């Protein structure tokens, strides 16, 4: 019966669920959990939360289903809010809930929650399984505590390829190319076969480290030794590596080779990477060529914004103004920027141009005071 609900139209499905609840009461906890999972899997976390709130009995399975639903749909702030509510009610989280909470903490950079979970694991002597250990080291790496992440990594009794990739990604995101290369060598010697995600992390590390030669060597190994066909993400990384080394012409050759073998979206991703690099190096002609290619493949604000910024930096304000007018004529709007700040364990988000934030007035007042102080200094 419940499976049938999940196949119907969203509005009809919602009405049928509530009619069934009102008619039958649906006392079974499993039924409520399945409904929450079903709606969350469809991306309807609003209805999933309504069902969660209406559930007469809430065991850890129901809490875990709702937590997982939030995290799967990138509602990390809501996920941590639910985790705090769970703490207030004195419910002990299981491994699945801790993994979801760690994932939300990693994405939001909420270090306080991650520390609490680590201490909880140690206090109750919970086994550091592959899933829990990977989530924990991912949180530390994304919060910038690479040394603690590495300590957790080596304390894990078992490690799979996902665990190795997560640690490699941590090194890459923190710009530690030597650590990434060392760990990659350990991975090969341990008998774990690298996959396509492994090489994305390695290319990212090489890009941040400015080691174009090492990146090309790894690309050759990926293709010849491990038989992995490069995807658009790999091409994007290699283009970035070459571009950072100033090898823009070589990067363009690689993008042009992709034309017949990749989809338009994958090709657009590669041209966007080249465009970004050209703008960084102020290579105007090549940037204009790359922007035209991106615009042909997708209708997005990115290339216009990059070109406009490049023209402004080069003092070509007339061309920057013309780009912005072209955006307006085509109805393309730039996505507003967003930043987040953790205060007393609570992550607060700020969106550029927002006029409805609860703490807007206090924030602007504080910024004004900081600016006046800076002027005096």
pLDDT at 344: 58
If asked whether residues 299 and 319 sit together in one domain, one would say: yes
Q: Is the pLDDT of residue 358 over 80?
A: no
Whole-number average pLDDT of the chain:
83
If asked whether residues 260 and 301 sit together in one domain, one would say: yes
Q: Provide the pLDDT confidence category of residue 148 given band limits of 50, 70 and 90.
A: very high
- pTM value is 0.74
- Report which of residues 4 and 338 the model is more confident about: 338
Contact call for residues 6 and 42 (beta carbons, < 8 A): yes
pLDDT at 141: 95
pLDDT at 5: 45
- Report which of residues 224 and 349 the model is more confident about: 224
What is the crossing angle of helices 196-209 and 177-189, to 10°? 150
What percent of the chain is predicted at pLDDT more than 70?
80
Note down the domain range covering 310.
254-335
pLDDT at 343: 57
- Token pair recorded at residue 217: 């060597």
Which three-class secondary structure state does DSSP give residue 338?
strand
Which three-class secondary structure state does DSSP give residue 352?
coil
Q: Is residue 236 part of a domain?
A: no
pLDDT at 56: 85
Which three-class secondary structure state does DSSP give residue 293?
helix
Neighbouring C-beta atoms of residue 303, cutoff 10 Å? 27
pLDDT at 25: 54
Q: Is residue 376 part of a domain?
A: yes
Q: Is residue 78 part of a domain?
A: no
Contact call for residues 173 and 146 (beta carbons, < 8 A): no
pLDDT at 4: 46
Q: Is residue 290 part of a domain?
A: yes
Q: Is residue 330 part of a domain?
A: yes
How many residues would you count in the chain?
A: 377
pLDDT at 335: 59
Q: Is the pLDDT of residue 150 over 50?
A: yes
Mean pLDDT of 336-350: 61
Q: E strands, 23-162, where?
A: none
Q: Is the pLDDT of residue 20 over 90?
A: no
Q: E strands, 100-224, where?
A: none
- Token pair recorded at residue 177: 């190319």
If asked whether residues 342 and 282 sit together in one domain, one would say: no
Tell me the torsion sign for CA atoms 35, 39, 45, 46. Answer: negative
3-state SS, one letter per residue, for 147-187: HHHHHHHHHCCCCCHHHHHHHHHHHHHCCCHHHHHHHHHHH
pLDDT at 243: 83
Give pLDDT tens digits for 60-100: 999 999 999 999 999 999 999 999 999 999 999 999 999 99
pLDDT at 6: 46
- Report which of residues 335 and 362 the model is more confident about: 362
If asked whether residues 295 and 320 sit together in one domain, one would say: yes
If asked whether residues 321 and 359 sit together in one domain, one would say: no
If asked whether residues 329 and 348 sit together in one domain, one would say: no
- Report which of residues 202 and 296 the model is more confident about: 202
DSSP alpha helix (H) spans, 212-340: 212-224, 232-244, 248-257, 264-280, 284-297, 302-313, 317-329
Give pLDDT tens digits for 36-45: 999 999 999 9
Give pLDDT tens digits for 94-106: 999 999 999 999 9
Q: How far, in Å, CA of 357 to CA of 18, rounded?
A: 34
Q: Provide the pLDDT confidence category of residue 46 given band limits of 50, 70 and 90.
A: very high
Number of domains in the chain: 2
Q: Is residue 184 part of a domain?
A: no
Q: How far, in Å, CA of 271 to CA of 256, rounded?
A: 9
- Report which of residues 344 and 5 the model is more confident about: 344
If asked whether residues 321 and 271 sit together in one domain, one would say: yes
If asked whether residues 325 and 271 sit together in one domain, one would say: yes
What percent of the chain is predicted at pLDDT more than 90?
47
pLDDT at 89: 93
Contact call for residues 105 and 80 (beta carbons, < 8 A): yes
If asked whether residues 305 and 345 sit together in one domain, one would say: no
Q: Is the pLDDT of residue 227 over 50?
A: yes
Q: Is residue 272 part of a domain?
A: yes
Q: Is residue 30 part of a domain?
A: no
Cα radius of gyration (the chain) = 25
Q: Is the pLDDT of residue 202 over 70?
A: yes
Q: Which are the contacts of 357, defined by CB distance < 8 A and separation ≥ 6? A: 350, 351, 363
Q: How far, in Å, CA of 263 to CA of 235, rounded?
A: 13
If asked whether residues 271 and 327 sit together in one domain, one would say: yes
Phi then psi for residue 370, to 5 deg, are -65, -45
Give pLDDT tens digits for 155-169: 999 999 999 999 999
């Amino acid at each position: 019966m419940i499976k049938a609900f999940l196949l119907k139209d969203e509005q009809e499905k919602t009405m049928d669920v509530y009619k069934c609840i009102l008619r039958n009461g649906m006392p079974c906890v499993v039924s409520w959990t399945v409904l929450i999972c079903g709606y969350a899997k469809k991306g309807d976390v609003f209805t999933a939360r309504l069902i969660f709130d209406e559930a007469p009995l809430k065991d850890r399975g129901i809490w875990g289903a709702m937590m997982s639903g939030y995290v799967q749909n990138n509602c990390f702030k809501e996920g941590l809010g639910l985790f705090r509510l769970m703490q207030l009610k004195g419910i002990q989280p299981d491994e699945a809930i801790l993994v979801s909470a760690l994932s939300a903490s990693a994405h939001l950079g909420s270090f306080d929650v991650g520390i609490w979970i680590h201490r909880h694991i140690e206090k109750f002597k919970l086994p550091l399984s592959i899933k829990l250990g990977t989530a924990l080291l991912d949180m530390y790496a994304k919060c910038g505590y690479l040394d603690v992440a590495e300590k957790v990594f080596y304390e894990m009794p078992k490690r799979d390829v996902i665990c190795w990739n997560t640690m490699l990604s941590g090194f890459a995101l923190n710009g530690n190319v030597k650590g990434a290369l060392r760990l990659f060598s350990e991975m090969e010697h341990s008998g774990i076969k690298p996959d396509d995600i492994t090489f994305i992390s390695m290319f990212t590390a090489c890009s941040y480290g400015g080691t174009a030669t090492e990146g090309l060597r790894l690309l050759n190994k990926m293709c010849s030794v491990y038989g992995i066909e490069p995807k658009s993400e790999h091409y994007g990384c290699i283009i970035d590596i070459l571009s950072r080394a100033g090898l823009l012409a070589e990067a363009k050759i690689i993008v042009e080779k992709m034309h017949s073998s990749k989809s338009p979206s994958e090709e657009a991703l590669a041209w966007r990477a080249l465009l970004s690099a050209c703008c960084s190096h102020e290579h105007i002609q090549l940037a204009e060529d790359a922007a035209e290619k991106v615009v042909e493949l997708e209708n997005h604000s990115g290339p216009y914004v990059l070109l406009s910024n490049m023209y402004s930096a080069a003092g070509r304000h007339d061309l920057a103004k013309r780009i912005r007018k072209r955006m307006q004529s085509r109805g393309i709007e730039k996505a507003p920027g967003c930043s987040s700040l953790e205060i007393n364990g609570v992550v607060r988000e700020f969106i550029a141009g927002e006029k409805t934030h609860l703490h807007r007035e206090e924030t602007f007042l504080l910024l004004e005071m900081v600016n006046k102080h800076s002027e005096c200094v």
